[in-house]
Amino acid sequence: MDEDQITFDKAGDYVDDQFAKAIKAKHPDVQFTTNMIKALKEKHGFVADTVDKITAKFPVKGRPVEIDITSELRSACRSIVPPIIDAIAELIASYDPEFQEDLRNNVIIAGGGSQMIGLPKLVEEGMKELGGGKARRVEEPVFAGANGALKMAKRMPKHFWQMLA
């Protein structure tokens, strides 16, 4: 149900912007496009403390230069965690206190960002200030929305389909 979920305005594009700003701040001569940043985030996005070093080649004055982007990517990806924790707190507070512990132990993270390595664990760490909890990513995060729409479509009465024609 809609009241049981939260949608963020700080998501993929926001992370891309934070990532681009961090790279420019550390490497002002590097050239890149939004698509290059997005592709790197989608391929390597993570929030975990431990990850292999991530490098990428960017043009600098027309010459490809390999730079370490690990800390910039981690920082950009982590920028969405505080709003997630705040939203979880707000949602939990809107429920009867009797059920709040159950809610904290059933946080499901969906959307493209849910694929970031270490996100459920980092959300759980952030939930410690709320009394703890368990977080997990939705199964098949890439197709979850389509799967839900298909289930809904299968249950629709035939007269609704006629309205679409």
In the chain the domains, ranked by start, together with CATH numbers, are 12-78 (3.30.420.40), 80-155 (3.30.420.40)
Q: List pLDDT tens digits, range 69-112.
A: 999 999 999 998 999 899 899 988 988 999 999 989 999 888 77
**Bridge partner residues of 117 (DSSP):** 46
What does the pLDDT read at residue 141?
A: 62
CA distance 91 to 133: 14
Tell me what pLDDT residue 116 has.
83
Is the predicted pLDDT of residue 54 greater than 90, yes or no?
yes
- Enumerate residues 6+ apart whose C-beta is below 8 A from 36: 58
Give the model's pLDDT for residue 75: 94
Instruction: For residue 49, give the amino acid letter.
Output: D
Residues, the chain, total? 165
User: How far apart (Å, rounded) are the C-alpha atoms in residues 15 and 73?
Assistant: 9
